[in-house]
Amino acid sequence: MAISTGLALLGGSLLSGVAQAGAAKKAAGAQTAAAQAGIDEQRRQFDAIQALLKPFVETGTTALSRQSALMGLGGAEAQTAAIRALEQGPEFQSLVQQGESAIMQSAAATGGLRGGNIQAALAQFRPQILSGLIEQQYSRLGGLATAGQNAAGNLGTFGQTTGANVSNLMAQQGAARAGSALAGGRAFGNILGDVGLMLGRGAAYQGMTPAGGGAPLTFGQAMLGGAGGAF
């Protein structure tokens, strides 16, 4: 009976340890999967925000490049090309046409169509329009560049937040796996402890006569009998 009890205790210890290790592994798997779902969602949200802000960032980058060209930061050739593009554009042509027409009509109404003043006014009109249009275009581009800068800044902030959240979730995954390993180690450590205890009892009680009398105990009988409380 004592030996049977000892075997039952040893078997129970083994089953308990295996069950604890399995439960710890299952719990760690669930925690890891939940953290991975969080990581995937964080990345999905970042990709969605990046797609939404991409046009603003690209437009701002283009606007900044054109601003630099107008200022001459890209070299004389780039500045000349930027100004020529404005001069040949429909906005400049429309403004010049309307303005020159108004000047001519005013001069005709006052009889000064062939006077020197009208010729001077016409000569100065186009450069003035072009200068004003350059300043206006620079201001417009500045607004677009600022919008792109803000979009890039918002994207950077969201990226930092996403990175921090993903790092935290990865840390949770690591903690879950580490906890599972530790729990499994403790469970099997308890099993080894029970086996060690029984081995110790076997060594201590081997060759002794049971309390109820009989033949001296073998090592196995002493070990399992001791576990069953025969002494």
Segment 38-49, tens digit of pLDDT: 888 888 888 888
Phi, psi of 16 (to 5 degrees): -65, -45
Number of domains in the chain: 1
**Cβ atoms of residues 70 and 138 within 8 Å:** yes
Angle at 125 between CA 120 and CA 70, to 5 degrees: 135
Domain that holds residue 110: 2-227
The pLDDT tens digits of the residues spanning 97-155 come to 998 888 788 767 666 556 567 777 778 888 999 999 999 999 999 999 999 999 999 99
Q: How far apart are CA 45 and CA 29, in angstroms?
A: 24
Average pLDDT over residues 78-94: 93
For residue 74, which phi and psi values (nearest 5 degrees)? -95, 5
Which has more pLDDT, 196 or 8? 196
- Per-residue pLDDT band for 64 (boundaries 50, 70, 90) equals very high
Whole-model pTM: value is 0.59
